[in-house]
Structure 1
């Protein structure tokens, strides 16, 4: 018996909500932008990694976060008086590492949800969603060094998620604008979350704190009121972008161009280097995608690029079982 789960890419921070706001996205062409994990019965626990970006991960399976997910899940089974069974896990790594698209969250969410679905299908035993999200947060914190749910929550639940200061709730789904397109441009270079956090200042001015709070509150209010123009007018990053943009070659030039073309918003996805821009016009989305493909993707020494551009919409489903 085997179970496969897909977990989608996400935009952490959404510029306006550092560490407390995230949205899951999916390409309009139907391609899978995210990771797939398959769990199947086996004689012993094992892990294999395949996919376009498998070579970016440690060669030793036991150094892979998916292996750690298995250990954590098995320990939780034991704590619940459930005897773990040996499984073989396959990670199809479709997401680039250090991309700002929630790559580690995709692996964590897909792995833990696949394990949970496997036990439900085979033994009719599984954990509730709230418990699973906490496990996902623990694994994400192991990678990034701090606990934040702005990638794992939308990756797991789908939609746009606002993190709340209640450990029993963790997040709330925000209304979002179904007619909007999110153009995602990954330039093909890597920026680690830790490196991106290290460039942030230890302290912020009172003015910066007030601006952050005002923008986030306005965005949340505008989402509930259905005021698209007001919502995206405050999608501005005063916390991270001013200090991270120098890590992203061509980012400022791209922002200038896209803003001049009338984008609703432009920003850094997560900790970068992926850039996202928002529009409610599909023809503009396609035009922006072409420009970003020609001007934002970085060429490697081989003359090729590992980068890509996708026109996306919000993924309201989140992690889900698929047939592979």
Structure 2
């Protein structure tokens, strides 16, 4: 029996639409993500549990885990039956890489129990493919950090899909999910099909500047450059009270703030714990829409997916 944990993630990280992703872990050490337990069996069996298991489809063949098992078996050309338990702790359509958590945890577990027939690159390609089927287009900005950990730059080079880039150790990442859901595919449809040359140049300048600031360890410059010109201007209309929240968070002392992935979760960055706690408190009082919503102060999770127990 093998149990794998895959952490939640922040897609885009503001400035890097479909190009940057960051795995996160609450500073109190609790694990924010999905767990998959797998063992060999006489026939395929899937058990769903966890806080958000009620959001999963009733039909097993519509479950991401089943799709992962089916595709994995096709690739290794063996139809091996397994019993899988998915502990669904991430809300679907939250903007925190919920589908990526399930995909990553399942495929890493499958690869482990079958003695690693796929290398990390092959596994990541499969993760991106399955994620693409759910969201409407292949992208790695959630599966890559959830699998490999840290802050990932998506390259999609012929030999290298993704690489970890340096992060700032004194940054606290505050994430807030308001308790409502937004479909990733719908959130992608709202974006324009074309952008002006000026926006493309500006986005390239800010993105390359952020990468440079990360490698040269200039946190203030990096924070100023974490601006989203591609998605935020269009997606913010889907988020409750986003502009007001962003304005208040900045006044409290956040050095950056943006939409996490497709939303409605948002993230902010603070460079000291006192400001992070004030931001967290304000978000709990003013951004959450119901009792299922949550706020966490996080570090980057540098480990990514890992075996538990």
Report the TM range for the smaller structure's normalisation: over 0.9
For residues 161 and 134 of structure 2, what CA distance do their matches in structure 1 show?
A: 19
Please tell me whether residue 174 in structure 1 is matched to residue 162 in structure 2.
no
Alignment match, 2:53: 54
Offset at residue 276 of structure 1 (A): 0.3
User: SS where residue 114 of structure 2 aligns?
Assistant: helix
1:308 correspondence with 2:308: no
DSSP-derived class of the 2:158 partner = coil
Distance 2:286 2:175 in 1: 13
Match of 1:74 in 2: 73
The correspondence for 2:263, drawn from 272, 282, 300, is 272
> Deviation at 1:164?
1.0
Q: Distance in 2 between matches of 1:173 and 1:248?
A: 30
Q: Which residue of 1 aligns with 2:289?
A: 298
1:91 alignment partner, SS class? strand
Q: 1:30 Cα deviation (Å)?
A: 1.6
Q: How does 1:143-182 map to 2 (within 5 A)?
A: 143-182=134-173
Q: CA deviation at 1:31?
A: 1.6
Q: Give the whole-Å Cα distance in 2 for the aligned partners of 1:85 and 1:274.
A: 38
2:77 maps to 1:86? no
> Is the Cα–Cα contact under 8 Å of residues 252 and 278 in structure 2 kept in the other structure?
no
5+ residue gaps, structure 1, are: 300-304
Counterpart of 1:105 (choices 97, 100, 104) is: 100
Please state how far the C-alpha of 1:179 moved relative to its aligned partner: 1.2
Task: Trace 1:237-256 onto structure 2 (pairs within 5 A).
Answer: 237-256=228-247
- Contact kept, 8 Å, 1:48 with 1:61, in 2: the verdict is no
Instruction: Kindly state the Cα deviation for residue 84 of structure 1 after the two structures are TM-superposed.
Output: 4.2
RMSD of aligned residue pairs (Cα, Å): 0.9
Per-residue deviation, residues 214-264 of structure 1 (Å, max 9, x unmatched)? 000000000000000001101000000010101111111110001112211
Aligned to 1:302: none
8 Å CA contact 2:213–2:219 kept in 1: the answer is yes
Alpha-carbon contact 1:186-1:307 (below 8 Å) kept: yes
TM-score (norm 2): 0.98
- 1:167 deviation in Å? 3.1
Task: Check whether the contact 1:9–1:33 (CA below 8 A) recurs between aligned residues.
Answer: yes
Aligned with 1:96 (options 71, 76, 91): 91
Give the match for residue 261 of structure 1. Answer: 252
TM score, norm. by length of structure 1: 0.94
Structure 1 residue 280: Cα displacement: 1.4
Determine if the alignment matches structure 1 residue 202 to structure 2 residue 197: no
CA distance in structure 2 between the aligned counterparts of 1:184 and 1:167, rounded to whole angstroms:
33
**How far apart are the structure 2 equivalents of 1:141 and 1:168?**
20
What does residue 41 of structure 2 align with?
Answer: 42
Distance 2:87 2:127 in 1: 18
Kindly tell me the number of residue pairs found equivalent between the two proteins.
Answer: 309
Tell me the distance in 2 between the aligned counterparts of 1:260 and 1:203: 34
Bigger shift: residues 253-262 or 2-11: 253-262
